[in-house]
């Protein structure tokens, strides 16, 4: 039974709403990059829906000494125009107008190639439409400008998995991996891919690490059980599967799988005969 059927690795972001997908991915990392490719440090991010303030000059004094508040509005910057196109794209996609959304996202990237939100959203939309090669190329361009950017790398890894290139996906996730406490989901995803490669010792190690950070994730307990069982560590695997049952919340397919593995392991483990009670003095 393949891992995605068991829920061991989360489905790609592009199976969700484009708005939800883009906001989740952008939230994984610092603010967006500018149109020149460097990372912006201002608090505004591409996911914000508020307009950037329009810059105005102070009021000017007339020659006769009178004063008026004469406001001169500067033309919007390419970044501001890209931001507007990005927000419009999210609105269009939410209304089911995917092609119009795609055009708006393309326009946003033409105006500001460093707009990370637009790049993630467009890659998400392309992947959802089955255009995995185009989505991969789009993300590669982003990673050239921001090599360590986790949100770009995470989506790229999911697309690589869909393209059956697990080896490259693993290498990418390893390269950008933050410390486990900062992003346990990243390491759980990596553990699931180690399982696909048959590297069950490494997968089990990672699952143990993330479970120390959050013991309430049933799919992580199941992943740990699978890797322990693959190494022949049946008693430990049984304990992990039972941990999954204690937490609950699995989908029906995964729940049946866990029940079957518990039944199989219980039947295969040797029966432990309890030691005989000590005989009382003078008995027999």
Nearest-10 crossing angle of helices 132-145, 150-162 = 150
Q: Which CATH class is domain 12-39+76-176?
A: mainly alpha
CA separation for the pair 223, 10 (Å, rounded): 12
Q: What count of residues does the chain have?
A: 284
- CATH number for region 181-269: 1.25.40.10
Query: Over pLDDT 90: what percentage of the chain?
Result: 68
Mean pLDDT in residue range 71-81: 87
Over residues 166-175, mean pLDDT: 97
User: What pLDDT does 265 receive?
Assistant: 96
Is the predicted pLDDT of residue 156 greater than 70, yes or no?
yes
* pLDDT score at 31: 39
Q: How far is CA 203 from CA 166, 190, 213, in A?
A: 14, 8, 16
pLDDT at 32 over 70: no
Map tokens 């699952």 to a residue. Answer: 207
pLDDT of amino acid 272: 57
Cβ proximity of 154 and 51 under 8 Å: no
Instruction: Give me the torsion for CA of 63, 64, 69, 73, rounded to 10°.
Output: -20
Comma-separated ranges of CATH 1.25.40.10 domains in the chain: 12-39+76-176, 181-269
- For 251, other C-beta atoms within 10 Å of its C-beta total 13
Rounded to the nearest angstrom, the gap between the alpha carbon of residue 53 and the centroid of all alpha carbons in its chain is 31
What percent of the chain clears pLDDT 70, i.e. is strictly above it?
Answer: 70
Q: What is the Cα–Cα distance from 227 to 239, expressed in whole angstroms?
A: 13
Four-point Cα dihedral 138, 115, 189, 159, nearest 10: -20
What is the pLDDT at residue 258?
Answer: 97
User: Average of pLDDT values for 23-32?
Assistant: 42
Query: Per-residue confidence at 277, pLDDT binned at 50, 70, 90?
Result: very low
- The pLDDT tens digits for 82-141 are 999 999 999 999 999 999 999 999 999 999 999 999 999 999 999 999 999 999 999 999
Distances (CA, A) of 12 to 63, 148, 155, 186: 64, 20, 8, 13
The DSSP line for 227-248 is HHHHTT-HHHHHHHHHHHHHH-
Distances from the Cα of 73 to the Cαs of 55, 59, 172, in angstroms? 6, 12, 45
pLDDT digits (tens, 9 = 90+) for 178-191: 999 999 999 999 99
pLDDT value of position 56: 42
CA dist., res. 219 & res. 5, Å (int)? 12
With a cut of 90, say whether residue 252 has pLDDT above it. yes
Task: Provide the pLDDT confidence category of residue 55 given band limits of 50, 70 and 90.
Answer: very low
pLDDT of residue 243: 94
Query: Could you tell me the maximum CA-CA distance found in the chain, to the nearest angstrom?
Result: 126
Return the CA Rg of the chain.
27
C-alpha span between 284 and 279 (Å, rounded): 9
Task: For the chain, give percent helix, strand, coil, nearest 5.
Answer: 60, 0, 40
């Amino acid at each position: 039974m393949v891992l995605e059927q068991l829920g061991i690795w989360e489905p790609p972001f592009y199976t969700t709403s484009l708005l939800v997908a883009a906001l989740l991915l952008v939230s994984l990392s610092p603010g967006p990059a500018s149109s020149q490719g460097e990372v912006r440090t201002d608090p505004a991010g591409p996911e914000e829906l508020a307009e950037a303030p329009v810059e105005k000059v102070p009021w000017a004094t007339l020659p006769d000494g009178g004063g008026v508040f004469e406001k001169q509005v500067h033309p919007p910057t390419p970044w501001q125009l890209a931001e507007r196109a990005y927000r419009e794209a999210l609105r269009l996609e939410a209304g089911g107008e995917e092609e119009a959304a795609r055009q708006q996202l393309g326009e946003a990237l033409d105006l500001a190639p460093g707009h990370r939100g637009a790049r993630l959203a467009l890659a998400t939309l392309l992947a959802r439409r089955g255009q995995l090669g185009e989505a991969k190329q789009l993300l590669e361009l982003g990673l050239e400008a921001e090599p360590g950017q986790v949100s770009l790398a995470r989506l790229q890894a999911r697309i690589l998995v869909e393209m059956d290139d697990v080896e490259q996906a693993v290498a990418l996730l390893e390269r950008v991996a933050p410390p486990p406490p900062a992003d346990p989901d990243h390491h759980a995803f990596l553990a699931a891919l180690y399982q696909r490669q048959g590297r069950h010792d490494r997968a089990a190690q990672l699952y143990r690490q993330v479970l120390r950070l959050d013991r309430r994730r049933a799919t992580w307990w199941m992943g740990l059980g699978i890797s322990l069982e693959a190494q022949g560590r049946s008693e430990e695997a049984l304990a992990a599967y039972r941990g999954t049952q204690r937490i609950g919340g699995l989908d029906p397919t995964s729940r049946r799988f866990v029940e079957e593995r518990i039944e199989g392991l219980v039947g295969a483990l040797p029966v432990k005969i309890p030691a005989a009670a000590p005989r009382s003095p003078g008995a027999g």
